[in-house]
Chains A and B, each alone.
Chain A
């Protein structure tokens, strides 16, 4: 029994990789080949789909837009969540528990509920179709998440650290940035990873809040599909490219992931 234990994760990983392989397979075929023949690997290997994406600005700008608002969102979420998480982990104050649950309820709000009011709200403040609008709207679910994860990491740091620093004559600001932030660097890394992840994969709000200037890559893909028939090869190449930023980010935080989950927060 023990000897065959490795089979389970191996089979699971094969199951995970199959659709991804199929997408990559398609991305190196021409659309005609995809429609007319079924084959496990490209018969007439072509990179023209990728060339098209990297030379056509409506395509590659989609990636630039997506990455821009994702980075904005990650920075805003973490910056705002740091002091709040500190307050939740160190102090009791009026309404703290209710506030914490209220924050979490926003992680539970179905984006579909907010799509229309967001559209109207951001249009009325003239932020429609800007990166900042998407970044701000994603704060709805990323800030609660960031506060939740960071609070977990901060609570694991003993309070004596704060007290010793104050005795040593550190001001709050110096203590926070010079001592506290480096102590929970791993936690901040994990938080940024999850903020990046949830902002990167979200489409409904990003699509609703943009038209042309800040249109995410994912929306470019759906619109192309509906206007010019199914250009499957191109679609597959664009899809393959959206996997890459995520894969890079995972590679950098792989050592922290298990640790972050171990905090029991995510």
Chain B
């Protein structure tokens, strides 16, 4: 659409601008403030320069949390994106199956995140949970509260349960926007199922898939509540992802300076990755 240039359009944006600035800019300035100072309580501050940033960037604890976070995000993207596409491809296209699938699949998306954690906690408990009980019955030595490997397995399974539907819904919408003529053409050319997927469906889903990856990256990188309720970051620190570690530092230990510095570094990483993705996405949009 060709848009007209109109500077008065700013007036329409003012309410949004004020509300978001009120929420984002002021608290963010507080964080920036803390990140450069030492606090002694009672509003007494001392300038610390970049000390906290250096401390965080060099600390083993931050490296470990960041490493866990990257591993977690990478694994769930690797599982959820292909799985989501696969399920979307096999979903019914018309009939009573469509609303049934849509409603049931959206369910996990609308459950409060701590309930998701609590639900999986009960579900996975080795003695009284269905998952834990069944796995132990099958001869696996499974206990997610004691063994780091099992804790990771459960956390990842929980996230797959929670968020794969988002990828499914997005892919499904992308698939639905393909005109039947494309499929007819593929059939006339005698294209194999794989060729149809590779040259028709996948390119048409490119936009929604970029979006799915972007959303899943952002949200999994910020994950807090679900693993916090499920494992509490444990056993030990093995499932303490960035947000869990940050909240522990800020609200638990009240180390405001280092916590603020860590917040900014954390935010910067998310921003950087999203900026790259966003530009890629906009470039695609401009091309098509």
Binding site for B on A (CB under 8 A): 5-9, 12-13, 15-20, 22-23, 26, 34-35, 38, 40, 76, 79-81, 83-84, 86-94, 96, 99, 101, 103-118, 120-121, 136-137, 139-140, 143-144, 147, 155, 158-159, 197, 200-204, 208, 217-218, 221-222, 225, 232, 235-236, 239, 242-243, 245-247, 249-251, 254-255, 257-262, 264-266
Contact = CB atoms under 8 A, between A and B. Distances in A.
B6 to A, nearest CB: 4
Interface string B259-281: 10001101100110011001000
Nearest to A29: B128
A193 B108 CA distance: 15
Nearest to A24: B119
A18 B161 CA distance: 10
B19 A136 contact: yes
Q: Is the interface of B mostly helix, strand, loop or mixed?
A: helix
A221 B115 contact: yes
Contact of B161 (A15, A99, A242): A15
15 contacts: A17-B104, A84-B17, A91-B9, A92-B5, A94-B7, A99-B13, A114-B31, A143-B16, A202-B113, A204-B225, A222-B114, A245-B110, A247-B103, A254-B102, A258-B176
Most B C-beta atoms less than 10 A away, residue of A35, A81, A91, A140: A91
B103 A254 contact: yes
A93 B104 CA distance: 43
B161 A147 contact: no
B111 A110 contact: no
Contacts of A143: 16, 19-20
A29 B129 CA distance: 13
Given A9-B87, A93-B6, A110-B242, A243 B250 contact: no
B62 interface: no
